[in-house]
Amino acid sequence: MDIKGKTAADLGRLIDVGKVDPVELTQTYLDAIADSEYGPDIYVRTTPERALCEAASAKDRAKRGMRKSKLDGVPVSWKDLFDTAGVETEAGSQLLAGRVPDKDCEVLRRAAEAGCICLGKTHMSELAFSGLGVNPRTATPPNRFDPALAPGGSSSGAAASVSYDLAPIGIGSDTGGSVRLPSGWNGLVGLKTTHGLISTEGVVPLCQGFDTVGPLARSVEDAGLMHEILSGNTVDFDQLPDLSQCRFLISETIYLEGCDSRQLQAFELAVEQLAKTGAKIEYAPVPEIAGILELAKDLFPFEAYREWGAEIEANPDAMFEPVKKRFMGGKSVTQETYEVANQKMLEYRECYDTRLSGFDAALAPTTPNSPPRTDKLLADIDYFWDANLLALRNTRVGNLLGLCGLTLPTATDNAGLMFLATPNSEERLLQIGRVCEGVIFEGYQQ
């Protein structure tokens, strides 16, 4: 069975008309994972017994015309921080080696209820606290465009599973950019959902005030269908906006500063193509971005250290030094400092929501920098630290401001175009993304 380049939605349609057998499809993906030279670097482990059992049920439902969703019978990969009953869930960290939950997390339960097939668990950055996706303690997945480059994280294996045709769609988490960053560096669509919209019950936490769940996919349609399953909210792709009626804001503050030429040129080309369709593009200073980024040094490390500091200090050699350094940075942040920063964050959010009023979304390069070489990152801890913080700069603005976000691939390898919209506007954002993915560069074919 030829699965190369197939979207999850396309596979669902083929199942619906009887042209694809869910059992054969699932076995094809399992075989592809086993045969791939990168399989062990992308998947921590597969779940073949569960997958084939779920596929058999999906096959029976399809025959009886009783499919549960448009993705019933479609295989899915899961980042290794989603609890899976009876299967090790270790969040990319030796600190959690041998951890076996006794039940599925809520989002996996919802996906299974919708008929999705659990292929297995994908590699990730340690405890999800790195945007580069480089993990010398477990495995570093390959970048789609060059295996020697960092894949982006922390949902590194989720991105690689889709971009290497080892899953039609992957589920990741996004605390500071961990869905959007690897999607941007691997030519994928990534959806960052509004905090609290999708359940994180049974998801290994990093910063509970910012953790979100979202899909990494080949198309906006795929992201929308999975969003429906995980959130319960409908996305109507039959009613798409006219881009000539859409208004986008480009911040003159922070987002474009320090971008390498590759990312900047990709962004400018994508924006040019949107403008050619009649989309209204406006540039303006947005001081809230600079202000809220200043708070990041207190907010993220504080929550991360309070979550994992004791475990790390009890076994400090288990963690890669640059990642451990990020966690330990929260030890000196006091409760009072955190509360002051959190209150300022809420004030910035209110100001920003007012500023974004009348715009459909803000646009930015998904990342300011292109993926560095993995070997260089491992050889130079200071370089790793600086590259990581820069890679996460643009994406984490969305988490700090409480926004939903979508990244789309551009005409340039390793470069994404990010849309940031007001909280709980995922349906409108996905509808806009569905239109934009076909026009952001000349000759793009969905």
As annotated, the active-site residues are 79, 154, 178
As a whole number of angstroms, the distance between CA 269 and CA 258 comes to 18
DSSP label at residue 7: -
3-state secondary structure of 151: coil
Q: Name 250's bridge partners.
A: 283, 363
- How are strands ordered across the β-sheet holding 247-251? 43-46, 117-122, 75-79, 169-174, 212-217, 189-192, 404-409, 416-421, 361-365, 247-251, 280-284
Q: Letter for the amino acid at 438?
A: G
Non-local CB neighbours of 90 within 8 Å, separated by 6+ positions: 44, 80, 96, 97, 98, 99, 138
CA angle 154, 158, 163 (to 5 degrees): 120
H helix or E strand, kind and range, residue 420: strand 416-421
Nearest to 228 by CA among 3, 18, 8, 80: 8
As a whole number of angstroms, the distance between CA 136 and CA 125 comes to 9
How far from each other are the two terminal CA atoms of the chain, in whole angstroms? 21
As a whole number of angstroms, the distance between CA 348 and CA 289 comes to 8
DSSP label at residue 92: T
Residues 152/391, Cβ–Cβ less than 8 Å:
yes
Give the CA-trace dihedral at 399, 177, 438, 424, to 10 degrees.
-30
Strands (E), 56-116: 75-79
Paired tokens of 67:
């499919």
Residues 46/30, Cβ–Cβ less than 8 Å:
yes
Instruction: Phi first, then psi: give them for residue 204, nearest 5 degrees.
Output: -60, 120
3-state secondary structure of 434: helix
